[in-house]
Amino acid sequence: MKYDLEAIWSRMESGDSQAEIAKDLGITHGRLSQILNKDEETAKRSARARELSAEAWLDRGLRALEEAPADSNEIARARAIAQECARRAAIRNPKYSEKRVHEVSGPNGGPIKTEEVTRPKITKEEWLAAHGLGTAARPAE
């Protein structure tokens, strides 16, 4: 059976989950994944649709919060839905993630040069004196 990929991608971009789309098409989520990844070009376009859906997922979470009754249980439920929508948005498009990854490397992308640093051995009295805690700094008892 042929499926209208443009319609599927449009629904994805509008914030419909793949599970919702698969249910409406009468197929399993796994079958929909096969359809969306049947070749490299289709897989790239499907990935782009997921990326574009991030804003719709955030809107979906905001809508759940706005429409929640003033009941504390319903507000808590709406918050959980909004958090899940934000998590899905971040999965679909990393620019919506609260996590940031910073990669550190040395010159020209090579390893960072390190060297071992050792502290000189000092006595307890030297340490106390260095921190102003020597016997002279102590008040008389």
Question: Do residues 42 and 73 share a domain?
Answer: no
pLDDT-based confidence at residue 140 (cuts at 50, 70, 90): low
Question: Do residues 34 and 59 share a domain?
Answer: no
- CA 75, distance to chain mean position in Å, is 23
pLDDT at 68: 83
Is 114's pLDDT higher than 70?
Answer: yes
Q: What is the pLDDT of residues 88-99, one digit of tens each?
A: 888 777 777 776
In terms of average pLDDT, the best of 4-18, 56-70, 104-118, 120-134 is 4-18
Is 131's pLDDT higher than 80?
Answer: yes
Whose CA is closest to 24, among 49, 3, 53, 51? 3
Q: Count up the domains in the chain and report the number.
A: 2
pLDDT-based confidence at residue 139 (cuts at 50, 70, 90): low
Question: Do residues 3 and 44 share a domain?
Answer: yes
Whose CA is closest to 120, among 112, 130, 111? 130
pLDDT-based confidence at residue 141 (cuts at 50, 70, 90): low
Q: Evaluate whether residue 87 is within a structural domain.
A: yes
Question: Do residues 38 and 79 share a domain?
Answer: no
Question: Do residues 39 and 7 share a domain?
Answer: yes
3-state helix, strand, coil in the chain (%, to 5): 60, 0, 40
Of 13-22, 46-55, 101-110, the one with minimum mean pLDDT is 101-110
Question: Structural domain of residue 23, as residue ranges?
Answer: 1-52
> Residues 96, 90: contact at Cβ < 8 Å?
yes
Question: Do residues 35 and 81 share a domain?
Answer: no
